[in-house]
Each structure stands twice: as structure tokens, then as C-alpha cells.
Amino acid sequence: MSDRLSGLFSALVFASMILALYMVFVYVPTETQMGVVQRIFYFHVPSAITSFLAFFIVFIASIQYLRTQEDRWDQLALSAAELGVAFSLIVLITGPIWAKPIWGAWWRWEPRLTSMLIMFTMYTAYLMVRAYGTSPLQTRRFAAVLGIIGFVNVPLVHYSIKLWSPEQQLHPQQVSLDPRMVYTKYASYLAIFLFFFYLLRWRYQIEKGAQLLAQLRRQAEALLPDERR
């Protein structure tokens, strides 16, 4: 991406974030039953969908890495996994903040919350494999397999409110929203999606540079005499 396009994209991300924040805190009406705390919805739900998107990228990139053995796919998978874990953590933090005044408890072991926590844990394990693996090649292959298997839980989280009976869960299956709430929801989606791709682009470039630097270091060490290694 050229410097001009990069600057335009950065400006678009910034403008979308400002617009979304204005709509969340000024434009949208306060929900009559839940009150001000309902505004967490505009951060909580888009962050959850963004984490699904991130893990889908991990899934595709992991398949491509195992198929081609090209480093770029491994770099993309790792970058997306880190961001997916970050957005999942936002969901797990904002959820209890929203739940306490509405449900009367910080946490309930209901299907969606529990499956979200499991998904977060699985991809945290993915990052731990990447961080503590000893053999770079074996670590990448094992992480790719884990990235593929872990994606099985993503649709489980998304469809959990339909897979379990209403008596077992607290998340509603369908909610009717004021038109202004709908507009604000989509503005929040747009802002967080753009922000995610902005972060993904830069994280990918950092990982690409880090792996190149590690490769050059290994090549330099191989050229040193044995007594200097």
C-alpha cells in the first residue's frame, strides 16, 4: 500500500471511530429498560463479530500455510490470532460489566458466555504454542493445526443461543431496536472492522520484519566460526 493510500485509510479509520463514538454517546437514545449501560452493546457485539472474523482469517491462513508452506500465511495467521484474542478479551470484559446491573451477577455459566470463554482459551493456547515452541518449523505446523481445529468453536459461539433452549441462557435470541440504534450499531461495526484491518496490516508487517530478522540472525550465526557461536 502506498503512503498516500495508507494515509487515506488511516484518516478513514479515525473518522469512522469519531463518528461511531458520537453516535454511541450523543445520537442514539438511551434504552428504556437497561438505561445507559446498554451502550456497551455498541462495543461488545462488534468486538465479538470482529473476533470471529479474526479467527476465520487464522483458519484460512493456517490451511494455506499447511498447503503451501509459505511464511506469509503463517505470519498472517499469527497476526490475526493475536488480534482475535484481544477482541475476545474486550468481549469478556464488557460482558460482565453489562451483565452485573442487568442480570445481577458478573458471570453466569450460560451457553454463549461459556463457549466464548472456551474460544478465548483455545486461541490463547495457540499463542502460547507460538511463544514457547522450540523448533520454528514444527511450532508453525502444530500452531496451524490448532488454528484450524480451534475454529470449530467459532460457529458454536455464534449459534449458541439457537442450539440451547431459552431456559438455559440469558442472551436474547432476537431484539427489536429503535432505527437510531440500528444505525449506530452498523456505524460501530464499520468503525471496529476498519480498526481491526488497520491493526492487522501493521501487525502483519511487524511479524514479517521480525521473522526476516530472525532468519538473518540465524544465517549470520551459521557463518561465524565455531568458537565464536
* Structure confidence by residue, pLDDT tens digits, 178-200: 889 999 999 999 999 999 999 99
Amino acid at 109: W
**Among the listed residues 4, 3, 90, 6, the one whose alpha carbon sits nearest the alpha carbon of residue 51:** 90
* Reported pTM: 0.87
pLDDT at residue 6, as a whole number: 84
pLDDT at residue 65, as a whole number: 96
**Among the listed residues 205, 158, 187, 133, the one whose alpha carbon sits nearest the alpha carbon of residue 55:** 158
Give pLDDT < 50 ranges for the chain.
Answer: none
The residue to which cell 454517546 is assigned:
25
